[in-house]
Structures are given as C-alpha cells and as structure tokens.
Amino acid sequence: MASKDKDQDKGTKAQKATADKPSAAQEEKDAKAQRELGIVGPHGDMRLASVVIEGYSLELRDGDGFVGDVASRTAFRHMLDAWRKLFTSMDGKDPMGRKSTRELSKHQLDAMLEKDGIAAQAIAAASEDYALQLAHVVQRFLKHKSWKGVERIIIGGGFHQSEVGSRSIARAGKILKAEKVPVELRTLHHHADEGGLIGWVHLAPPALLQSYDAILAVDIGGTNVRCGIVQTHLHRAPDMSQAEVVRREKWAHADDEPKRDELVEGIATILEDLIAYAEKKEIRLAPYIGVACPGLIVEDGSLAGGTQNLPGNWESTRFHLPRDLCERLPHIGDGRTQVCLHNDAVVQGLSEMPFTNDVERWAILTVGTGLGNASFTNRRDAPGQG
C-alpha cells in the first residue's frame, strides 16, 4: 500500500532536521504509525471480515472473443446501429436523425422510445437482442467454478439507469426464468457514479473508519473517472447501509484523450480540490484513498492485465498507480496518507453488501465500456452473521 508522510511535504529545514536520525529508528516509527492506523491486508485483498471475494475479471472466451464483450454498453450500441441501418433501408430515411448511434445519449434514446415510432421499434429490437445476449452471458458465468451457487446477480454500471437499459435487464431476467435458471437479477442500489466509491467503506481499515468522518475514493473507468468524498455514518449504521457520497466530481477523460500519466495527474488535481472542500466543510477525512480500476490487482499494487480500455501501458514495471498517485498528493491531516487499489467491479459490488444478507452467494456484472464481473460469498462466521 503506497503511503506518504506529512514530513515529506516539508521544506529543506525539516529534511536537515531529520537527516541525523538513524534509518532503523525512522523505520520503526513508520511501522508503529502504520499499526496504529490499523492498515492490514494487501492491495486487491480477497478475504474481508464479512465476505470472501471468490473471483473477478474473468475473461471467459467464446470463439475468437470474450463472453462479456457481447453484453457491454458498446455491444448494445453495435446492436442498435445494425437495427437502425435496417430500418433506414426499409423506410428510406434514418429514424434517429443525423447523430451517430455513439453520440446519442441515454436520455435521447429514452425519449425516442416514449414516442413509439420507427425509432422506438429499432430500439426495442436492439433491446431484445441485448437481453438475449445478457442471459447467455449470465449462464456462461454461472458455469464457472467461482460462480457456482450464485443466487443473485447485481447489474451495475450506468446502463440500468435508463429506461432502455432497465427494460433490457428486466427482459433478460424473464428469459432466465423461462429457461429455469435459478438466479435473480437485480440492479445496483446506488447511482452508478457512486457505487464504485461507496464500496470502499467495506475495504478501508476499520480503525480508520471509527476515527474519521469520511474517506476519499476514486473509480477509474475506460470512459470516465469519478472521485468523491464518502461519508460512512458508521455510528448511525454499523453495516454501512447509510454510507453516502457527499461530494463527487466526474471527468469524461475519454473526450480529452489524456496519456496515462496525464490521467493520473488529473485525478490528483481533482482529489486536491476534494481535500480542500472537506477542510472547508470541516469533514474529518481519513488519511486514506481507495482507488478502483479495471484489471487484475497484484498484492504489491501493480496491475497484471485487463487494463486495455485505459490509455497507455498500466501494466509496465515502471508504473505503480498507488505510489505515483500518492506522490502527487498533499498530506491529509497529520497522518500517513494511504493509497489502496482494488478492482472496479469488486468495489462496486461491495457497495451492495448491506443488501445481500439474505443470500450466501452473489455476484455483480458491471455494464460499461466493457463488462466487469466479480463474485462473492458471505461469511457466516463473521461477527453478527448467523
């Protein structure tokens, strides 16, 4: 876990003052500070107090591609584009106007669907295609050993927050039920921009959460970056069911096409603004930042695959996201600023923990630029679990 001391931000005088101290003594001081903060567990921790993460970022193959590719938001756009071209050829004019399918927003598609014209027919046809593909993907995942016995699947990402998306997901649920597949589809409780931030309250060290009001969280996607202040309300609801994002910023970085290091620098700038906001509002921020991103997370904080939708090489041995981000940030309060990394689908899934106590096995599929995935098992041996 990357960390940054307040002393590192001081000037030359402070550096000279500490230069004479033995390195062993300094190391022991740092170790003690870390123990006091309750920092335990590596990046990408798979076993938490109340849940075991059975797996994530599965790349199941289907022919020449990956199974999840046919149920992403990108896949839906391709399906819609195909139906749009067909209806255009039959009617002699494009029912959706001049904008490309990629440029049409969720709100615009919902408006077309409400008008019940030719455009609505094209959207409905694409939604049926997508529902069939989503049902197929679900069944393929359920055959994997890490998904064995999954009773409920949460559909995350922003797709379900449109009428088009919610209808497609509901239809997929009916298809699965008709085929007697014993699984329930539900959608994320939180807004898609917030679920990937709120999940960090279940990953952050408990000692920190008990001593501070809120933590900083980051959710890096292939199209957008979301940063926010997550207030735990721990003393009001120990299960974190009332955790909320009290301030968030969203950057559509894909529009700006930043290089990898420029993206990290932009995230640091947003976090600096959020730190300033917390100070102004007297929100006691923990010296901890949770960062969620696509890909496989190694215990040392490096990335080992699955980052193809991010700009540049995120798997380089010369790049370490927690460390590089930490070096760009000011200190938070008087403590050691800790930066911890985990997979984005895992974090979004963990935001559902307070609402999954009635099942043992559950999972999440996040519909975005790609299709993220993670599966979980609730620990009945955890305190408070029966």
50-60 pLDDT, tens digit each? 999 999 999 89
pLDDT tens digits for range 84-100:
999 999 989 999 999 99
The one-character DSSP state at 274 is H
Pairing of strands 361-367, 51-56: unpaired
pLDDT band at 380 (very low <50, low <70, confident <90, very high): confident
Q: Are 58 and 374 in contact (CB under 8 A)?
A: no
Q: Which two tokens stand for residue 228?
A: 């926010």
pTM of the model: 0.86
pLDDT tens digits for range 211-224:
999 999 999 998 99
Residue 209 CA neighbour count, 13 Å, CB half: 21
**Over residues 346-368, mean pLDDT:** 96
pLDDT at site 29: 47
**Over residues 5-17, mean pLDDT:** 47
pLDDT at site 10: 47
Report the alpha-carbon angle 219-220-224, nearest 5: 105
Q: Are 123 and 76 in contact (CB under 8 A)?
A: no
CA distance 345 to 367: 10
| Dihedral pair phi/psi, residue 214, rounded to 5° | -155, 165
pLDDT at site 40: 41
Amino acid letter, residue 377: T
pLDDT at site 361: 98
**Over residues 327-345, mean pLDDT:** 88
Among all chains, which residue has been given the structure tokens 């399906």?
Answer: 79
pLDDT tens digits for range 210-258:
999 999 999 999 899 999 999 999 989 999 999 999 999 999 999 999 9
Answer whether residue 39 shows pLDDT above 50: no
pLDDT tens digits for range 296-311:
999 999 999 889 889 9
359 exposure class (CB count in 10 Å sphere: 0-12, 13-18, 19+): middle
Q: Which two tokens stand for residue 155?
A: 């559909």
CA distance 376 to 173: 20
